[in-house]
Amino acid sequence: MFDLSRPSPEPQALRIADLGQALSPWLTQTTFPQAGTALRCGVSGGADSLALMALGVAAGCEVTAVHVDHGQRAGSEKEAEVVERYATTIGASFMSHTVDVAAGSNLEARMRTARYAVLGDEVATGHTADDQAETLLINLVRGAGLVGLGAMEPGHCTPILSLRRTDTEAICSTLGWTPIVDASNADPAYLRNRMRHEVLPLLADIADRDVVPLLNRSSSHARDAARLLEEQAQRLDPTDAKLLAAAPAPVAALCLQRWIRSETGDEYRIDAASIERVLCVARGEALAAEVNGGWRISRSQQRLTIEDTTRSKI
């Protein structure tokens, strides 16, 4: 076991060097930014996020561990103390925030929204290859297209996406750390938990092999295809009805997605039925189409325009 507490004449330098050596079997599989880069890491105290924090420090990043307490479990405020202790041990900075999320429907999504409002868009998360497989399956049963099937994009925000959950547990064991176990991760009320504890084991049993690498490979193929469509979509003028009508449907649909979200400021993807209605307008099969509750897209002289009908009524 790796001892982070041993004395040294240069404790910080030696600690990072020793940390890098101890975690080298896993570090080569990560996608952290270059050494010296400031990196905010979302750290709940579970094995995945603790491993993320340790690997980030080992990679030479200036890590700040950010813990968010949703206040949903008794004693959850103590978890921040655990994260702070481990962060301090390896020389990472620490921040803690408490958010108020009321009980009620769609709790998981609301907690995520509150959490990322604190963490920010560029935060690094401890998502692993197992999370990637679960995300693919979740998006699949929701009827996602290529972008959704591509699941999470590897990069600086998901630097340990190639590691398995068993790897993060092994990292914590190597460091002598005891991760926090969130009992809600076993609650079948959450779709992800059912994918994790029921669907993936069943698929592995049927396939007689570990299916996580296979699902991750499928996600990679979907991302490659989505990137190709994106490149073609960027060449299209979304207001040119004639070009949209002549373009391959997946390319035209993606082009319209980007345009409508940009014009309306809506971060969510437009459903397929709405996109098809707009394509009908582009082809001259309809005069106008409603999208995103109050926005109307119409065609005039081979050009598409979009207007907010709720404002025009004021």
Q: Is the pLDDT of residue 6 over 60?
A: no
Taking residues 222-244, report their average pLDDT. Answer: 96
Phi and psi (nearest 5°) for 167?
Answer: -65, -45
Higher pLDDT, 201 or 75: 201
Architecture label for domain 11-128+163-181: 3-Layer(aba) Sandwich (3.40)
Of 110-114, 196-200, 279-283, 290-294, the one with minimum mean pLDDT is 110-114
Could you report the per-residue pLDDT of 242-281, keeping only the tens digit for each? Answer: 999 999 999 999 999 999 999 988 776 788 899 999 999 9
Adjacency order of strands within the sheet including 288-291: 288-291, 295-300, 303-308
- Euclidean distance between CA atoms 24 and 121, whole angstroms: 28
| Of the candidate ranges 66-70, 89-93, 215-219, the one whose mean pLDDT is the lowest | 66-70
298 pLDDT more than 70: yes
Q: Is the pLDDT of residue 35 over 90?
A: yes
Among 78, 83, 6, CA closest to 52: 83
Please, where are the H alpha helices in the chain? 11-22, 24-27, 47-58, 77-89, 107-119, 129-141, 146-149, 165-175, 191-194, 200-207, 212-234, 241-246, 249-264, 272-282, 309-312
Domain range annotation of the chain: 11-128+163-181, 129-152+185-228, 235-312
DSSP secondary structure code for residue 270 in this structure: P
Reported confidence tier of residue 104, pLDDT bands at 50, 70, 90: low
Q: Report CA Rg, the chain.
A: 23
Q: Among 102-111, 127-136, 276-285, where is mean pLDDT lowest?
A: 102-111
Give φ, ψ of 66 to 5 degrees.
-110, 120
- Give the three-state DSSP class for 166: helix
Confidence category of residue 73, pLDDT binned at 50, 70, 90: low
> What is the spatial distance between Cα 51 and Cα 128, in angstroms, rounded to a whole number?
10
CA atoms within 13 A on the CB side of 121: 1
- Residue indicated by tokens 């064991």: 173
Tokens for 146, please give them.
């290529």
Residues 177-211 have pLDDT tens digits of: 999 998 888 989 889 999 999 999 999 999 999 99
- Residues with Cβ < 8 Å from 203, sequence gap 6 or more? 211
